[in-house]
Amino acid sequence: MTTLPERIGMDNAKFVLQQLLAGIDQADTEVTVDLSTITHCDSAGIAALIEAKSYALRQQKPLTYSAPPSQLRDLAVFLKVEALLF
């Protein structure tokens, strides 16, 4: 299981994406990412999470995001991308 930093935003979204892609590449089958430690996520963070999910699908390794905090889920709903993430 991959655990992410507390804050995902414009300043570290590329790093987070690289971390997620590396976790996907190292996985044999499916990947679970624990989102429970995230206290803040902006649209750049959402974009990184979507890109990682897309990459995982292309690699045929299902990616599941577990325990998303309400702030992240609310932002995904606001941006109309909740179905792409959860």
Full residue range of the structural domain in which residue 77 is found: 2-85
Bridge pairing between strands 7-8 and 31-34: unpaired
Overall average pLDDT of the 1-26 stretch: 93
DSSP letter for each residue of 59-81:
TT--EEEES--HHHHHHHHHTT-
- What are the pLDDT digits (tens) for 46-57? 999 999 999 999
> What mean pLDDT value characterizes the chain?
95
CA distances from 40 to 13, 23, 31, 37, 73 (A): 12, 21, 22, 9, 11
H helices then E strands: how many in the chain?
A: 4, 5
CATH number for the domain harbouring residue 20: 3.30.750.24
Phi, psi (rounded to 5 degrees) for 36: -65, -25
Domain count of the fold of the chain: 1
31 pLDDT above the threshold of 80: yes
Confidence (pTM): 0.94
Phi, psi (rounded to 5 degrees) for 24: -65, -45
Q: How confident is the model at residue 1 (pLDDT cuts 50, 70, 90)?
A: low
- pLDDT computed for residue 73 by the predictor: 97
